[in-house]
Structure 1
């Protein structure tokens, strides 16, 4: 393995297709809309685009309930549109990573429909996790597992004669039955799916719920910590997350993907702690990258950020993999809001009109800009979620009547879910739907005060968040920070994170006290500064002494 693969230092931009750009005015983003906006992403300075699901789907979970892994949902376009998007991205020298959802299918997938029609104990049923219930008449679920979206993780089906039959497992919504990855047939199907998209030119896959494919033998009972089931990442490992058998699957996938030219990649969404355990997913013969959720979930605290960075570089470096860094995605509260919260905000909980704590937009954006400038200076690969380059906050006033996240419904409206970070993004300040759709339609309503966040409101405006991202990405590339090596700097207060990466000194002040800056030319700062660094601000200095 050489050390110059593109993915080791890439900045990868996540596109959430339904909320990015709508080309036909129906209120839902689509592939043609994405293709038309790729030049704007090239201009931003990213290296690759990651597309969330666009496959045929009933859309009960925004496309993460896949009914056909080898086709495009008509709401997003056609396979020809996808081919055009790939061609345009590659023309612009952008790589394209697509989402793959192997843990579960839609209940509308032909595999599951065949399983429902087949008798108990049949090969069709064995593709999924069907089990007999407990009790004299089987009315008790096979175990006590809870769905990540709330409620029990089992649904019972009827036999052809109408009598209650077996139960099937769904760690997410009832419309998302889990596949049985101990079944060789399932594994062979996904080898074919990987080849289908690799043959169409994709540069890699982001693997959804990569830590969930194998369940512990016997499916033993498990009671999650207070707050209900989650995606994992806790000190105690549930019997449905991070089981050792997943590694055999990804070693097989790695052999397959390595047959293709061009450094194709596998990226794991694996909520696994500690980082030394997560590093098992990116050993040389497994995946290339794994999302660093410990970094994403770290609070606004200098000591915790230092610890996560040190542990990340050590753990991933030990297996020869790059660290990854991420602050926002389609499953968590946007960091321009989350970093202004004092209390915990578990993944998927969301924020809404009646939340006990509301984020302060001014504080949130200031911290978000500082956190971003720190992140983009770290060696490794960084992920940017669509709209964060505009400083978009979470939509915390979304009407309950507009909500679509399964979490909202399965928790009986106790958790708002993820709709607030998925609202379509603004492109033009005075256009219908802020330029997202020329008809003004939008599948989730956009806030009335987002004109100032629109891309055309910020482009070319000194000090805007968009220009901060553009400048940071340009300097990151010029100075090869993604391929660099971090050297911690001493002599700063406890509330300050300071390090050198190549010829750039990075100082981030998490506290409120102003600190004096060392010598060096100010190349970039998250807020206007002189020779002093105010609180909640990050600066990049060109190290004139090196």
Structure 2
């Protein structure tokens, strides 16, 4: 498997730094805390740590409002501390990925402060400024993803500036060559330090319509959805010119050897695969988020797997994501029993998996009382239920009260549930042990890392498929229902099951019984 790149062989583990481990008692996770837990991450069996934003920021959107792209926020540590963390990770065999947030900066970034200082400032065109409409209102009908108009009036210069998110997050003008050069230097700064790649925030939003045309109304909008869903995002996302930017970023990374460019892209599969580039010169992996909102039944997941595999260009490497910092946790979406099935699914599908911290112990969404809400998405649109605090609660390391080993101070968000790493460690029936077995099996299996995926079939509540490479065939069966079910299989042996007592058992040619919410991986005796 050596000819595959590390990011094709490996598994990525996302750390939300505010919530992973606090080392100084202020209730907020930091770089020293992450570094102290890297042995745990390496022992889990993953290959890379992706760290959500740690740049200097006023924290209007918890780091996604960047005030300095080439430094570390004191809340998290120092640049030297980051270098030490990266060195520690590399010694443990872990790659380090950073979030790159190029669509918008903080309104307190020096670039924006210069831009808004006067209409003739050299950096004026680094952001999107427009005159009012004839009635004095915003230039067009574009809406913020955080609610309300995406245009903010600036009294000083008498124009509006565009912000796809908070008003504290003005969008950069990526049609300006100076912006492109400045952002390229940001990438090179971190690459020169030894960073192994980037996850690019909202990659599909970087370019907007040059004519600033109104977005058309969305005929499918339903009351209660986020405000910006009232319009189709025809002129504010997935513009044709964005692919030139992706190619440029990829070219920069290619100068540094085996680095990886991952794009955050919430689009349909036909749109998504275009971000690989015409000949594979785009993003290495446009994130495939289908599992985050999938209807959890065998037929739907089977169709999803087949359609994605067919849609991928020959040169494209697939990937799957089960959880992240913007979506409810998998154990809350599908329940504790099916979260185990989902783990087997994620780590046996073709392509690179991404895990979200805490999913390996079955963490659920935390309860956030109204007076504990931190997320601006929820504070600006109460009742829309798009708040992201529940999936960002602190990692639960042990059973100690009140903070589960995360901090000696008051945590920035409340601890979610009683489960913890310490309680599950050594318990062969625990979620943590399941993940460790899965990751170990995957690492040693050419069929799982580089094999084809074939015969994807749904029968009732059972999803089955095969992973094949050379003369090895693995048969995966997932019971996505609450009742026992039979499955037709070749003869073989159970390598792994969510029912631990079945590991090592024989599977017979023909009908085999699966328990409710059971998932199995069977090595087939004589694959045909």
TM-score (normalised: structure 2): 0.91
What SS does structure 2 have at the residue aligned with 1:69? coil
TM-fit CA distance, 1:515? 2.5
Q: Distance in 2 between matches of 1:392 and 1:146?
A: 34
CA contact (8 A) 2:262 2:284 kept: yes
Select between 518-527 and 94-103 the one with higher mean Cα deviation.
518-527
154, 161, 168: which one aligns with 2:151: 154
CA contact (8 A) 1:102 1:213 kept: yes
Query: Is 1:193 the equivalent of 2:186?
Result: yes
248, 251, 263: which one aligns with 2:244: 248
Q: Which residue of structure 1 lines up, in the alignment, with residue 286 of structure 2?
A: 290
Q: Number of residues paired by the alignment?
A: 503
Name segments (4+ residues, structure 1) moved above 4 Å.
229-232, 528-531
What SS does structure 1 have at the residue aligned with 2:247? helix
CA contact (8 A) 1:295 1:309 kept: no
CA 1:416–1:327 in 2, change beyond 3 Å: closer, same or farther?
same
Q: Which residue of structure 1 lines up, in the alignment, with residue 433 of structure 2?
A: 467
CA contact (8 A) 2:55 2:63 kept: yes
Q: Which residue of structure 1 lines up, in the alignment, with residue 298 of structure 2?
A: 302
CA contact (8 A) 2:148 2:227 kept: no
Q: Distance in 1 between matches of 2:382 and 2:427?
A: 44
Q: Distance in 2 between matches of 1:231 and 1:281?
A: 23
What are the ranges of 5 or more consecutive residues in structure 1 without an aligned counterpart?
340-363
CA 1:73–1:392 in 2, change beyond 3 Å: closer, same or farther?
same
Select between 207-216 and 2-11 the one with higher mean Cα deviation.
2-11
Superimposed CA distance per residue, residues 500-529 of structure 1 (whole angstroms, 9 cap, x where no aligned partner): 113321001223442235432222222457
Q: Distance in 1 between matches of 2:30 and 2:68?
A: 17
Q: Distance in 1 between matches of 2:456 and 2:259?
A: 36
Q: Which residue of structure 2 lines up, in the alignment, with residue 342 of structure 1?
A: none
What SS does structure 2 have at the residue aligned with 1:56? coil
Q: Distance in 2 between matches of 1:489 and 1:264?
A: 32
CA contact (8 A) 1:282 1:289 kept: yes
211, 215, 219: which one aligns with 1:218: 211
Query: Is 1:382 the equivalent of 2:353?
Result: yes
TM-fit CA distance, 1:294? 2.1
TM-fit CA distance, 1:105? 0.3
CA 1:293–1:489 in 2, change beyond 3 Å: closer, same or farther?
closer
CA contact (8 A) 1:367 1:536 kept: yes
Q: Distance in 1 between matches of 2:131 and 2:475?
A: 61
CA contact (8 A) 2:9 2:352 kept: yes
Query: Is 1:407 the equivalent of 2:377?
Result: yes
341, 363, 366: which one aligns with 1:392: 363
What SS does structure 1 have at the residue aligned with 2:340? helix
TM-fit CA distance, 1:116? 1.6
What SS does structure 2 have at the residue aligned with 1:7? helix
CA contact (8 A) 1:336 1:393 kept: yes
Q: Which residue of structure 1 lines up, in the alignment, with residue 514 of structure 2?
A: 533
What SS does structure 2 have at the residue aligned with 1:476? helix
TM-fit CA distance, 1:436? 0.7
TM-fit CA distance, 1:537? 2.4
TM-fit CA distance, 1:56? 0.2
What are the ranges of 5 or more consecutive residues in structure 2 without an aligned counterpart?
503-511
CA contact (8 A) 2:428 2:500 kept: no
What SS does structure 2 have at the residue aligned with 1:70? coil
Query: Is 1:486 the equivalent of 2:481?
Result: no
